[in-house]
Amino acid sequence: MATEPAWEKLENCSLAPGYRDGDSFLVRIKPRTFRVFRLYFVDAPEDSADQRFPERIDAQAAYFGVTPERSMAAGDEAAAFTASILSTPFTVWTCWQKAPGASAQQRYFAMIETGNGDWLDSLLVARGLARIYGKRISLPDGSTSREHLAELERLEERAKTQRLGAWR
């Protein structure tokens, strides 16, 4: 049985100008250190600024049962929400696992803990701004991926019922 990699905690991080959307963004770790991180567990819709992947936009729209245009509008909302939430210092938890993507810079998977102690992936799902999707891992707080996924599913069902975000 393979063991999961160890978590590294990076405190007092800030969102850096440049590359960002709802689930991937450039982070300033130290005064001169920048890294692109992508969230575990979720996929925010593509925003209207990036239409390079029409098949991904169509898949995201199908997941939410909306038009591609509505999905991209939700992607715009997700990007704005993430920028707002990460406008104050936050903590990056990472195992430095490489995350594939179209970014010119190497991306790494991460869990983002807000200044309020919330997980960013959960906040996005609760607002209907991300689908449950992607790589899973046990959390730094000791929760299993199964436990976290169950919580995400509960949050998603509530967002869907309340017609929040992309579920409108």
The rounded distance, in Å, linking the Cα atoms of 25 and 134 is 16
Q: Over the chain, what is the mean pLDDT?
A: 92
Dist. CA 67–CA 39, nearest whole Å: 24
pLDDT score at 128? 97
- Domains plus CATH for the chain? 8-167 (2.40.50.90)
Q: What is the pTM of this model?
A: 0.94
Q: Convert 82-98 to b/e letters by CB count within 10 Å (16 or more is b).
A: beebbeeebbbbbbeee
Q: Report pLDDT for 1.
A: 45
Look at residue 5 and tell me whether its pLDDT is greater than 90.
Answer: no
Please give the average per-residue pLDDT across 20-36, as a whole number.
90
Q: What is the pLDDT of residues 47-97, one digit of tens each?
A: 988 788 889 999 999 999 999 999 999 999 999 999 999 999 999 999 999
Flag whether pLDDT at 14 surpasses 80.
Answer: yes
DSSP string, 70-119: HHHHHHHHHHHHHHHHTTS-EEEEE---EE--S-SS-EEEEEEE-TTS-B
